[in-house]
Structure 1
Amino acid sequence: MAAIAPSGVRIGCRRIREGDEAHLLPGEAHSIPARQPGMRRASGAARWIAHGLLAELGVGDAAILRTPSGAPVWPEGIMGSLAHDDDMAVAAVAPVGDIASLGIDVEPAQPLPDDILALVTTPADRTDAADRHLAGRILFAAKEAVYKAVYPLDREVLGYEDITVDLNAGHATTKTGRKARLAYCVAPRVVVLAFVEKDRG
């Protein structure tokens, strides 16, 4: 997974395990309203990864609270993203610098159901370079990751139709004109990292 990340971005993953909800710091646990054990377990696993990545950057004991919109709140000077499916949690963090924002998503390495594929795909999307069995799943994860990366910058709600993905070129563009670069891997899970580079103007 580290191979897909640009310089300065740290990525981690782990299987979600029984008891992972215990990794939530008190403030984090209070900020996550979900009562379902599975959701709290997944949130605990993702934050456990993020705490480790933050420690590598010299940031310790920082609670990653959840906002009402669901987005995590990162310590000053840090940006990041969290995601999980039913079995795996992932996190990406980076110091604020050349990259303006990050988004990450994880999905099972299985074909995307046709009905969901029809909702996600637009005629402008390009997926020829991807494994044809997983192209739809990668596209779905890419759009999720791009949304996470651009929402903090533009504060605009986007639908799948508002994000055009070119997996061949490794980038995506939103209807607002925001551009994000993409990197992904497909084993053992589909993981897509989207990142917006700072405009050097």
Structure 2
Amino acid sequence: MTLKKNSKNSFWLGRLAIRIALNFPDYPILKDQYGRPLMIQGVYGSISHKEERGVALISLPEPVIDASDSNVRLAGVGIDLEMTSRPGRSNVSKRVLTINERQSLGNIPGITIDEEVLLRFSLKEAIYKAAHPLLCQYVGFQEAEVTPFADGTASCIWLLDTKADKRIVKLTAHWKKVVDGQFFLTSASVYSNKSDEEVKLEP
């Protein structure tokens, strides 16, 4: 589908993407107080849009995470779409990456340092979206360090003073280049412990 490049059309494509992912449900996909898609009980979803593209990620109702550990449950998913280059725009590395992250750039074959800055930025966006139902707080770019790997996975180290990340018992993140290498598509899932009574998930 081709639409004029503007933020309203881009936003609309994101909403369309999640409706397609849900097989066009007979209820509207509204936003909660944080701007997250308001899903039915037991389903998690996330939306992203950039330029003329819109993407969405949803979970299946009550997915089986680990049959050997019935206490682990999915708590949120996140997706982000970011261009692999931003010609004419200023470098954002100092704003979105920690000192450690900037010093560790350049270790992914086929990915330039400038591209990796945008990849890590996109991974943070996806991870923050996935973790927000558990953290329920603003997370700055200097409060987490992400490391992408050549196999399309990534890790995250939290640097939160509140230690709210202790509610996360597992996190997975993935990335890939899409649309002939024009975009990075990143995704993340976070998991909590069912037996942890302190974890209060929001709808």
Q: TM-score, normalised by structure 1?
A: 0.72
Cα shift readout 1:57-101 (whole Å, capped 9, x = no counterpart):
xx7223111234322211222101000112211100012333321
Cα RMSD, aligned residues only: 2.5
Q: Secondary structure at the match of 1:124?
A: helix
Match of 2:142 among 144, 161, 164: 161
Q: Is 2:144 the partner of 1:144?
A: no
The residue correspondences of 1:77-156 to structure 2 (distance < 5 A) are 77-95=42-60, 96-97=62-63, 98=65, 99-110=74-85, 115-125=91-101, 126-127=104-105, 128-129=107-108, 131-132=111-112, 133-156=114-137
- Residue of structure 1 in register with 2:69 after alignment: none
Measure the CA separation in 2 of the matches of 1:134 and 1:200: 38
Kept in 2: contact 1:107–1:190 (CA 8 A): yes
Kept in 2: contact 1:173–1:180 (CA 8 A): no
Kept in 1: contact 2:78–2:189 (CA 8 A): yes
Q: Indicate how the Cα distance of structure 1 residues 43 and 155 shifts in structure 2: closer, same or farther if over 3 A, else same.
A: same
Count of aligned residue pairs for this structure pair: 166
Cα displacement (A) at 1:111: 5.5
- Which structure 1 residue ranges, 5 or more long, are not aligned? 1-14, 19-36
Q: Is 2:12 the partner of 1:51?
A: no
- Residue of structure 2 in register with 1:22 after alignment: none
Kept in 2: contact 1:103–1:193 (CA 8 A): yes
- Residue of structure 1 in register with 2:191 after alignment: 197
Percentage of matched positions with identical amino acids = 20
Q: Is 2:136 the partner of 1:171?
A: no
Counterpart amino acid of residue 116 in structure 1: V
Counterpart amino acid of residue 122 in structure 1: T
125-134 or 148-157: bigger deviation: 125-134
Cα displacement (A) at 1:16: 5.8
Cα displacement (A) at 1:43: 2.5
Greater Rg by CA? 2
Measure the CA separation in 2 of the matches of 1:66 and 1:200: 25
Q: Is 2:172 the partner of 1:181?
A: yes
Q: Secondary structure at the match of 2:119?
A: helix
Cα displacement (A) at 1:154: 1.4
- Residue of structure 1 in register with 2:201 after alignment: none
Q: Which has a greater percent of helix?
A: 1
Kept in 1: contact 2:46–2:56 (CA 8 A): yes
Measure the CA separation in 2 of the matches of 1:16 and 1:109: 20
Measure the CA separation in 2 of the matches of 1:145 and 1:51: 19
Kept in 2: contact 1:102–1:196 (CA 8 A): yes
- Residue of structure 2 in register with 1:75 after alignment: 40
Q: TM-score, normalised by structure 2?
A: 0.71
Kept in 2: contact 1:16–1:87 (CA 8 A): yes
